[in-house]
Amino acid sequence: MTADTSPRPYNDRLFLHLIRKAGQMSKAELTRASGLSAQSATVIVNRLVAQGFLSAGDTVRGRIGQPSTPYALNPDGAMSIGVKVGRRSLEVVSMTFDYRILDRVAHRYAFPLVDDLRGKITGGIGTLMDAMTPVQRARLTGIGLALPDQLADWEETIGAPAGAMADWRDTDLRAEIAAHFDVPTMVLNDAASACLAELETGNPEGYDSFAYIYVGTFIGGGVALGGRLFTGGGHAGAIGSLPAVRTAPGPAQQMIDTASLHMLEARTAEAGLSSDAYFDAAPLDAATEAVFDEWLAIAADNIATACVSAQAFLAPQAIVIDTSLAAPLKDRLLTALQQAIARLDVRGLDRIIIVPGTAGSTARVTGSGILPFQAGFCIDTPP
């Protein structure tokens, strides 16, 4: 049995949205924020409490006026499963209604093979469902899938044997998951999923509009406009497909070939070194740091050019940069990027504000877990 996944009445979604952003609100505060009457606000709050979506806190007394009771999201009011299929790793998480990751299953691999991943995904989802309480399981809203686009096209780039990833062309993983578990399942590009996570759980400055760049095994991006994830025709923010900065004669390249971590990992392996050092906080040894610095110089120049392009076309309030690199290396990436932007001619543009993302390596799977909640509880659909 799963929860009712049909979109809720608009005012119910509005109240849940307001409380999610504020943390907790009283009926009086909801009345003022929504513009509804006090009677309507009371009816809506009482209904959401009865249905298990809200929990009442301790009544606040001793202030001017009537005692006030704050209401917050009930973490067990709805549940989701998030699945992130990456070029190097698979993550499956269960998530509570307050966007907290409850449990996790993870696997690493050299490259994603369809037949291998099918078993790992169904096994991971099954494990997390079995770990839920009966109440949580009954309130499962859906499954979200964060998946890179056109995986078969990147076979050579990722270092897979010829033909090993061809099955992705004829695979509808979303439909397979939905059929196997009989649960509503939705899919989103993995970098757009990371952008969604930043929008909903990060973004400490509260930007309504930002361009988002995620530097992972493959670089990718997303776009937030007006406080909502913007996907356009499905590929908005596909920064990896932008032309790379040309530094020498030869075939044209995309940014996915010059600013992605798979290039850093490949050069590190060629030097007989381990890439593991890039993903923990320990200082790099001299040889590994030299490889990183060489990659960083090229990557920063390419990402800087993309940031200027994003500023020219979107005029976002900020450009958010996140990565699966360890925090010290993330800081170095942002510093190098700021320096590269300073070398470019940006006349005619608003000041480019670069800010760090907050989720790091968990961004994509967090967004996949949020995706099912968006289907039933977002306020995009007007009354």
Identify the band that residue 253 occupies on the pLDDT scale cut at 50, 70 and 90. Answer: confident
- Give which of 11, 13, 45, 12 is closest to 28, Cα–Cα: 45
Q: Is the model's pLDDT at 165 over the cut of 70? A: yes
* Residues above pLDDT 90, as percent of the chain: 82
Same fold, 10-73 and 203-357: no
pLDDT of residue 61: 67
* Residues above pLDDT 70, as percent of the chain: 95
Answer for the pair 89, 146: CB distance below 8 angstroms, yes or no.
Answer: no
Identify the band that residue 375 occupies on the pLDDT scale cut at 50, 70 and 90. Answer: confident
* Chain Cα centroid distance, residue 3: 24
Instruction: List the domain boundaries for the chain.
Output: 10-73, 76-190+364-377, 203-357
Mean pLDDT for the chain?
Answer: 92
Q: Which segment of 32-36, 83-87, 113-117, 374-378 scores lowest on mean pLDDT?
A: 374-378
List the beta bridge partners of residue 95. Answer: 80, 101
Fold of the 10-73 domain: Arc Repressor Mutant, subunit A (1.10.10)
Q: Is the model's pLDDT at 7 over the cut of 70? A: no
What is the enclosing helix (H) or strand (E) of 140? Answer: strand 140-146
pLDDT (mean) for 305-325: 96
Answer for the pair 283, 277: CB distance below 8 angstroms, yes or no.
Answer: no
pLDDT (mean) for 65-82: 91
For residue range 90-134, what is the model confidence (pLDDT) as tens digits?
999 999 999 999 999 999 998 899 999 999 999 999 999 999 999
Q: Is the model's pLDDT at 231 over the cut of 80? A: yes
For the chain, give percent helix, strand, coil, nearest 5: 45, 20, 35
Fold of the 76-190+364-377 domain: Nucleotidyltransferase; domain 5 (3.30.420)
Q: Which segment of 15-24, 122-131, 145-154 scores lowest on mean pLDDT?
A: 145-154
Q: Is the model's pLDDT at 192 over the cut of 80? A: yes
The rounded distance, in Å, linking the Cα atoms of 207 and 353 is: 11
pLDDT of residue 382: 43
What is the enclosing helix (H) or strand (E) of 38? Answer: helix 38-50
The rounded distance, in Å, linking the Cα atoms of 113 and 155 is: 11
Please check whether the domain covering 203-357 is classified as CATH 3.30.420.40.
yes
Answer for the pair 18, 25: CB distance below 8 angstroms, yes or no.
Answer: yes
Identify the band that residue 158 occupies on the pLDDT scale cut at 50, 70 and 90. Answer: confident
Where is pLDDT greater, at 369 or 66?
369
Contacts of 349 (CB under 8 A, 6+ apart): 308, 311, 312, 315
List the beta bridge partners of residue 92. Answer: 83, 105
Q: Is the model's pLDDT at 300 over the cut of 80? A: yes
Q: Is the model's pLDDT at 168 over the cut of 50? A: yes
Identify the band that residue 1 occupies on the pLDDT scale cut at 50, 70 and 90. Answer: very low
